[in-house]
A and B are shown apart, each in its own frame.
With several copies, the nearest count.
Chain A
Amino acid sequence: MVKLIYFAWIRERIGKSEEDIELPDNVKTVGDLIAHLKQRGDGYEVALEVPEVIHVAINQEHSQHSDIIGDAREIALFPPMTGG
């Protein structure tokens, strides 16, 4: 089980701020995870439509789409940051 957390318009489009899911064996990388989530329904499809703008943090550290998820406890998906 891994905890997924969503922020900003990704959270709004998916319609929830977090959830626990079981990752299928074929989901190895961050990119695999995004592709997998897009199949979970319309909200996910719209939220993750353009994978290039989806930022992902594994255990609260920025990750690349090519990174291996491994035994992550917490994965967050969010749009480009606009703080500061």
Chain B
Amino acid sequence: MDKAPTIRVQVEDFDLQTEIDALTNGQRDIGAVVSFTGLCRDDKGALAALELEHYPGMAEAEMLRIAQEAAERWPLNGVTVIHRYGKIEPGENIVLVVAASKHRQAAFDGASFMMDFLKSKAPFWKREIRKDGSESAWVDARDTDEEALKRWR
């Protein structure tokens, strides 16, 4: 990978086009860019916000390890991984992964791989803050997220 991965853990929101422009700028051999945006979802209408806690230092280190692993497995021109923390309301962005490559399959696979590993390996924890003021609850890890890792072995 010509370009060092962009890794950020931040409170602020991000702008996807700005991030992609920063990633592709000046490179004429990128044909495909795949982005994944994870948003705060509220199925039942009961959620006021998610509160995201993280492990400063290790979060960035783990995101970088995941990005580098993706770049070793697929011919990627560049990757960006951004994860927000703090209070995030329904409809707001939580996470962004971008993978740029010459061809589309590597970009899709690289982005999908990074998301699967972020879900299970990046040290972030979500707590639900409810509209009715009832005690907030930590979000349980989903077994399907562990399962998702197996296809990359």
Measured CB to CB, the residues of A under 8 A from B are 5, 7-9, 57, 60-62, 76, 78-84
Interface flag for B91 (CB, 8 Å)? no
Cβ 8 A contact of B140, one of A60, A78, A82, A84: A82
The complex places the Cα of A62 from the Cα of B57 at a distance, in Å, of 13
Interfacial chain B residues near A76, Cβ < 8 Å: 55, 58, 123
The complex places the Cα of A56 from the Cα of B123 at a distance, in Å, of 10
How many inter-chain residue pairs (CB < 8 Å) link A and B?
71
Interfacial chain B residues near A7, Cβ < 8 Å: 53, 55, 123, 125
Closest to A11 in B: B53
Contact stretch, chosen from B19-27, B69-77, B113-121: B113-121
Measured CB to CB, the residues of B under 8 A from A are 38, 52-55, 57-58, 61-62, 83, 94-95, 115, 118-127, 138-141
Q: Are A83 and B124 in contact (CB under 8 A)?
A: yes
Q: List 10 A-B contacts (CB under 8 A).
A: A57-B123, A60-B61, A62-B121, A76-B123, A82-B124, A82-B125, A82-B138, A83-B119, A84-B95, A84-B119
Given known contacts A9-B138, A60-B58, A81 and B115 CB-to-CB distance under 8 angstroms: no
Main secondary structure of the interface of B (DSSP, over half): mixed
- Min CB distance A5 to B, Å, is 7
Q: Are B138 and A83 in contact (CB under 8 A)?
A: no
Interfacial chain B residues near A60, Cβ < 8 Å: 55, 57-58, 61-62
Which of A9, A60, A62, A79 has the most chain B CB atoms inside 10 A of its CB?
Answer: A60
Given known contacts A8-B53, A60-B58, A81 and B121 CB-to-CB distance under 8 angstroms: yes
Closest to B116 in A: A84
Given known contacts A5-B55, A8-B125, A84 and B141 CB-to-CB distance under 8 angstroms: no
Given known contacts A8-B138, A62-B121, A78-B123, A83 and B54 CB-to-CB distance under 8 angstroms: yes
Interfacial chain A residues near B94, Cβ < 8 Å: 83-84
